Structure 1
Amino acid sequence: MITKKLMLASAAVVMLGGWSLSQAAGQGGIAPASPAPKMGASLDHDVRGDMLPPLPALDPAIKAKADALFADEDDVGQTRALYVLRDGEPIYERYAPGFGPETKLISWSMAKSITAVLTGFLVAGGQLSLDGPAPVAAWQRSGDPRGAITLAHLLHMSSGIEHVENGDPVWQGDTVAMLFGGGAQDMAGFAEAKPAAAQPDELFNYSSATSVILSDIITDALTPSRNPAARRDAMRDFIQGRLVEPLGMTSLTPEFDAKGTMIGGSIMHATARDYAKFGEFLRNHGVVDGQRLLPESWMKFMLTPSANDAGYGGHIWLNRRRPAGAPAALWPDRGPNDLFACIGHQGQYIIVSPSQRVTIVRLGVTNDDQFPALRRHLADLTEAL
């Protein structure tokens, strides 16, 4: 038992890269980051050494704020990709050496917002109910308080299910146990077996396990099969038809556990350009090329604050002040009130500012002590735009 704990602790420490989940506004999903190439080569080239397509001349003040995310590595960590769009058109694109437009980078908890949109498609189609009891078989026994949990509670991280996102020591956290420990073979089963620790809407508890429960619910709505391959195929086909093809997110690659359940809280991969396409989809409130794919009512729900944390919506972060003692997620004192973001472990961001008509994707590796500086740099950039 001690050996197992030591192995889990060593793995988790390496995967965390010395970074506390709680200090990143609960951005769950922990796993090893790929080695960071040294800075120094020209960042205007992609991994093949080809010049990136020319972009329109950018205001020097904006360019300086964007470039600072690469230059100030000691302060903000390594920025591997920065991609900025205004009115849907790229105005800035830059990569660290060894990375480029075709490089797929991990989402970490940005995946949660993708899971929320997938849930919205099924609610809009009538296969799921936002306010009815969440269809989790283990919660439907008579007298089980979890039977009162709805999809809305899950999406707002207010289900009341017991969960410790970040343990001390690290291996005692539920996220590590689910992803790399005893729950890894059946992540949804692990998450759904947790007891109720509070009434729904009684408290906010950020939980990567909650997003896996949603993934399980989505998959059950798509196929009755318990065969892992069938479950994976059903989810992949669904994502292909609802996101990959209509949005052009051809690089989007979700990961699955051994039971065929998508790890919807933390592990997807895509290029910076494709993450930006998802951001643009949200900026346009579910409309692509003039065609509405997601109801306006679902976007309104996603952007409605959770009952106990105004800084969090329906599986997405809002640019609003969080409760006292909660770590900062965005920059409500500086940015527009309508700004929102998908945020992931180690500083992955899809920032959407509708009133500025802007979408920003920042991907990289940032440690806990660097997060205040990273948020300040990103706030500087959005302010300059």
Structure 2
Amino acid sequence: MSSSAYTPPPDGSSWDAIAPAAGGFNAEKLEAAIAWAEASESPWPRSLYYPDGRYVGNVEWNESGPWSEIAGIVRPRGGPAGMILKGGRIVAEWGDTRRADVTFSVAKSYLSMLAGIAIGDGLIGSVDDRVGATVKTGHFDGPHNGLITWRHLLTQSSEWDGVLWEKSDQVDHFRQVGGAENNKRKGELRQRQTPGTYYEYNDVRVNVLAFALLQRFGRPLPDVLRERIMDPIGASKDWEWHGYSTSWTEVAGKRVQSVSGGSHWGGGLFIPTRDHARVGLLVASNGRWGSRQLLPEGWMAQSLEPSATNDGYGFLWWLNRGGRNYPSAPADSWFALGAGTNLIWVAPSQDLVAVVRWIDKAKADGFFKRLMAAAA
């Protein structure tokens, strides 16, 4: 992003907006991109439950059996919404961008930021430290789990073996996310591989990361996020981050809820589109907000390095290398992705940040195609 990017004032004040032409856009083509997003709403029911009572996640991921019970808060979703920022200023905005809406696995990228803060604070020495060296709860003991490093957790290559909050890691064995998904075998038991050698998108293992970070901070992660990120960037007071009814634990003598890295079984991060856009600006600026460096210097660059087991994935951020996820988006763009589809998208070469919510995943690339045509 441009080093001269505008930093919006705190929520409640006026966020600068510019006309499409001033941002280098063709106004008519930009309107067409927005119209596409609004007309391409996610097919998911707004209640997040189908008429037969099934939760959308269980249907989406072909999930049934002993670990499919919904354990967290579920609230009806809103409609399509989004923002497009050029140099930090609003070029376009649609839908209810102030609604605190569930965002599914975009929460994973928030965990990535918190991991960076933990390293900056010295709570974690290095991403290559073994988690069990400082998290003494028994979850990272033994010949297998004892090998797991923070890098493994952040790149979804940990192969953590166990049950957390009544969910077994087996629930997401053979799970596929992104590209041509085929989840017919999801939940079938497979042999765990050596930590760091095998990529698998696994929500239990991400929840283990959230639990481990809770142990290192010694206080609820939403409190840390609010103090270190959300308040400094002027976010609203409307966002919430929840875990499950089963994820209460004791930390420093207090009963604390460990949050989830998504909304696979309910719970998760409920947040306005405008707050997502602020976070997008923060990470696009390498963790800097105005004169303050909120994330450790170099953390975002490290987070966006292709991981050894999936070169389209960093530290819980998706990379668009080679246009592998969205062919119409720039190859150097990257994003936080949540089911539904929810996106925080950053295109550094275009000085753009976009938040797109509740677009049909089959139509998302069509939005980027139209957006980039408008910016040409």
**Residue pair 1:305, 1:312 contacting (<8 A) in 2 also:** yes
Secondary structure of the structure 2 residue equivalent to 1:216: helix
The answer for the alignment partner of 2:199 in structure 1 is 204
> Matches of 1:54 and 1:276 in 2, distance apart?
13
Matching of residue 239 in structure 1 with residue 225 in structure 2:
yes
> Matches of 2:37 and 2:317 in 1, distance apart?
23
**Higher share of residues assigned helix:** 1
Secondary structure of the structure 1 residue equivalent to 2:109: helix
Matches within 5 A, 1:316-355: 316-321=317-322, 330-331=325-326, 333-355=327-349
Secondary structure of the structure 2 residue equivalent to 1:372: coil
Give ranges in structure 1 of 5+ residues lacking alignment: 1-51, 175-193, 224-230, 323-327
Provide closer, same or farther for how the CA distance between residues 89 and 203 of structure 1 changes in structure 2, counting only shifts above 3 A: same
Secondary structure of the structure 2 residue equivalent to 1:127: coil
The answer for the alignment partner of 2:260 in structure 1 is 263
The answer for the alignment partner of 1:362 in structure 2 is 356
> Matches of 1:114 and 1:278 in 2, distance apart?
9
- Aligned match for 2:114, one of 105, 114, 118: 118
The answer for the alignment partner of 1:56 in structure 2 is 19
The answer for the alignment partner of 2:165 in structure 1 is none
Instruction: Using the TM superposition, give the Cα deviation of residue 75 of structure 1 relative to its aligned residue in structure 2, in angstroms.
Output: 9.1
Secondary structure of the structure 2 residue equivalent to 1:261: strand
Instruction: Using the TM superposition, give the Cα deviation of residue 121 of structure 1 relative to its aligned residue in structure 2, in angstroms.
Output: 0.2
Alpha-carbon RMSD across the aligned residues, in angstroms, is 3.2
Provide closer, same or farther for how the CA distance between residues 140 and 62 of structure 1 changes in structure 2, counting only shifts above 3 A: closer
Provide closer, same or farther for how the CA distance between residues 293 and 68 of structure 1 changes in structure 2, counting only shifts above 3 A: same
The answer for the alignment partner of 2:241 in structure 1 is 254
Q: Give the structure-1-normalised TM-score.
A: 0.68
Aligned-residue sequence identity (percent) comes to 24
The answer for the alignment partner of 2:123 in structure 1 is 127
Provide closer, same or farther for how the CA distance between residues 196 and 160 of structure 1 changes in structure 2, counting only shifts above 3 A: farther
> Matches of 1:252 and 1:73 in 2, distance apart?
23
- Aligned match for 1:375, one of 338, 347, 365: 365
Secondary structure of the structure 2 residue equivalent to 1:314: coil
Matching of residue 165 in structure 1 with residue 172 in structure 2:
yes
Instruction: Using the TM superposition, give the Cα deviation of residue 255 of structure 1 relative to its aligned residue in structure 2, in angstroms.
Output: 0.7
The answer for the alignment partner of 1:3 in structure 2 is none
Provide closer, same or farther for how the CA distance between residues 354 and 79 of structure 1 changes in structure 2, counting only shifts above 3 A: farther
Instruction: Using the TM superposition, give the Cα deviation of residue 88 of structure 1 relative to its aligned residue in structure 2, in angstroms.
Output: 0.3
Which amino acid in 1 is paired with 2:209? L
Provide closer, same or farther for how the CA distance between residues 54 and 236 of structure 1 changes in structure 2, counting only shifts above 3 A: closer
Matching of residue 384 in structure 1 with residue 347 in structure 2:
no
TM-superposition CA deviations, 1:14-70 (whole Å, max 9, x none): xxxxxxxxxxxxxxxxxxxxxxxxxxxxxxxxxxxxxx9975245222221222211
Q: Give the structure-2-normalised TM-score.
A: 0.69
The answer for the alignment partner of 1:305 in structure 2 is 306
> Matches of 2:223 and 2:233 in 1, distance apart?
14
Matches within 5 A, 1:145-156: 145-156=144-155
Secondary structure of the structure 2 residue equivalent to 1:352: strand
Secondary structure of the structure 1 residue equivalent to 2:105: helix
Matching of residue 67 in structure 1 with residue 35 in structure 2:
yes
Secondary structure of the structure 2 residue equivalent to 1:257: strand
The answer for the alignment partner of 1:105 in structure 2 is 101
Give ranges in structure 2 of 5+ residues lacking alignment: 1-14, 22-26, 46-77, 162-168, 176-181, 249-256
Which amino acid in 1 is paired with 2:234? G
**Residue pair 1:109, 1:344 contacting (<8 A) in 2 also:** yes
Provide closer, same or farther for how the CA distance between residues 88 and 109 of structure 1 changes in structure 2, counting only shifts above 3 A: same
**Higher share of residues assigned strand:** 2
**Residue pair 1:244, 1:252 contacting (<8 A) in 2 also:** no
Question: How many pairs align?
Answer: 291
